[in-house]
Amino acid sequence: SKRSIRGGQGGFTLVEIAIVLVIIGLLLGGVLKGQELIEQSKIKRVVNDFNNVSAAIMTYQDRYRYLPGDDPNAAARWPTAVAGGPATSGSGNGTLAPATLAQVFTGGGNESGNAWQHLRLAGLVTGDVSTAARSQTPEQTPFGSNYGIGLGATAMGFGVVPAFCASLPAKAAEQLDRQLDDGNPQTGNIRANAPSATMNTAPAAAVATTNV
């Protein structure tokens, strides 16, 4: 019969399809918004970390009269603090001296690594000092890379010993520069540069990259 044929046909009405599409749209919008909020949270943490590390370095220098990592009195000041042994003293020459930019982000065996050790021993940065290697490990960024302290006073044209943040996504780097500086990656107190096997020069001499 005609009634039985109609009863066997099934499907969604236009209204039902429209409702489903709206729900899918809301779910996708929520996911994208959540990702954006997570990204913004990471950027905010980098801003806070930069401020905190800068304040820690200045506090250390004001307290002990040397840059962390360059402090020649560190071993005498903390003779049993690192796995029962002394801290690693620096040269006291006013700069930090890793051989390459890569060493700024790896820590041990140079004054950039010593800087993290000295800041931790001074109670200005948290971290594990149960072994020498752990005491010199740079802090991690929320983007899975490391912060760094050091290079010579002329690194990247700053004229001071800079702090670094490795491998920031381009969007995060731009926001960091706008929030803390002048928004120009080649000028001001925050500058971008391409990674290099040797010490970097001023940003104007480097090719721009999507990640810094």
Contacts of residue 121, Cβ cutoff 8 Å, sequence gap at least 6: 74, 77, 78, 81, 82, 87, 129, 135
Residue type, 61: Q
The tens digit of pLDDT for each residue in 54-83 reads 899 999 999 999 989 999 999 999 999 999
The tens digit of pLDDT for each residue in 72-120 reads 999 999 999 999 999 999 999 887 876 666 777 777 778 888 999 999 9
Distance CA 13, CA 81 (A): 73
Considering the entire predicted model, what is its pTM?
0.71
Please tell me the total number of residues recorded for the chain in this structure: 212
